[in-house]
Structure 1
Amino acid sequence: MSGAATAIERVLDRVLGSNPREGEIARPVRLIEAMRHATLGGGKRLRAFLAVETARLFEANGESALRVGAALECLHAYSLVHDDLPAMDDDDLRRGRPTVHRAFDEATAILAGDALQTLAFDLLADPATDADPQVRSDLVLGLARASGLGGMAGGQMLDLQAEKDTPDEAAIRRLQAMKTGALIRFSCEAGAILGRATAEDRDRIRRFGEVIGLAFQLADDILDETATAEALGKATGKDSSRGKGTLVGLYGVTPVRAMLDGLVAEAEELLAPFGARAVTLAEAARFVAIREA
């Protein structure tokens, strides 16, 4: 993961440069600075790593995978910038640094998020990512579905509603599958798209992504209850204080840890047909479940 993160950081540094690209008129300095603040110098780069490692599983081009990983990180960074805004979660810290609206201002943060979102699709649609227009189209469509109305953005809406309602387990699982899981699921599927995987393998790796997406969210909910703000680099205990629906809030930490064990076992079972080629992905599933930050 560290190696993938370093490689992705280099790609992001390049695509977030100050020089305008073909078709652009100019890149305002303050906007670029805010986008770089949001995107560079922190984070696990899990989504990018999953895309890169899944692409490796299906023997896809490594540089293409890094570009897809960079697109995923731009989309994820946009979601964090907007999620941190006063109208949403109203957070002051992200990755141990001031959130973008605190480091700059609220209007700049909104525009930085907007620009990061469109940059993600710019990267996927560029022929430099893959020469095959069908592959690029599949990547763009997949990311749009994962991040939009029926995915991440819709999940965020359900999450806001959960502060006022009392969601049951099924409703919590649905909002978490959309808000967090959809982008993680697509991160895995993107590598299969790049690698021209069979329909059966693509379905299998998509399900793997669903499983670790849920595991990631459950681990995140546990950390929100048990970790310190210093360890996470952001405020903790906010879900319970705002009455948000989580499985940890519904059942407690110990039962959710047992759920995580089951999810890791399912992830390993899904990867079994790929044999030794999928060892790193299996280790990633365990990491997601037991991480401490």
Structure 2
Amino acid sequence: MLEFHTHTYRCKHAQGDIPDLARQAEQSGYTVLGISDHTPLPKDQDIEIRMSLNEVDNYIQAFHTAQEAHPSLKMLLGLETEYFKEFEGFYKEELFGKWGMDYLIQAQHLFHCDGSLVYFWKEKPGADKKVLKAYAEAVVAGIESQIFSLLAHPDLFGVFYAPWDEETAACSRYMIEAAQAYNMPLEINGNGFRKGITDICGIKRFQYPLDPFWEIASGYDVKVLVNSDAHHPSELKPSVEGLALAEKYQLKFAELSDIRLKEKKKAVKEGAISGAESQQ
């Protein structure tokens, strides 16, 4: 089993650390574990939801400590971040160059709309179409940058845009077509299922994943990952609902070889996992 989306206490809304995740992964039968806490940004922007710049060295050390303690588990060091064009140099020179990340997850929790930053968790349900469009444009720009290895919860717009209509279908196709063009795996997010069904402007459904999004995705040549998005070690387990959704629409699972990784650093041990290993 593969897992690429996990968090630690450093992001301020999760519990546990990398050694805890590694122990849980091994106990649960995972063979590949990616660690991907929320990245710091220049000048510690939005520090309330991510680690600070001065915590990165400790994050890396905790990774290597866990890696040494679990030699049979293939571990990859990553971060989850939003795409902002102005930070491309930071992603490439600092996150990959200085700190040696294996991969970055694109997750568009923040995006620009009409000159202002939209924070998805602060945006009230019932956002208008221009916010939805701005989200989709930010996602596609990130995909086209080719900086990221996978796209987390692409249907996150379900948090702030209530109906499923022509606009959501069009924006979904726009993102999925970009993912197909750039061979970007899409994530079915287990954390969305854990949050449960909620009332969004009178519509009772999961905020995400959104069933119609994945029905559309089934018509494209894209691959998917079902990630836990674990914010506590106990949440690091396969998402039954996510796997069922993938099976419902006969979606193709990404293999390890489908994940765009940076050239391996000497500190990252080679596991006994072949590049052809599937999530199933």
How does the TM-score come out when normalised to structure 1?
A: 0.30
More strand by share: 2
More helix by share: 1
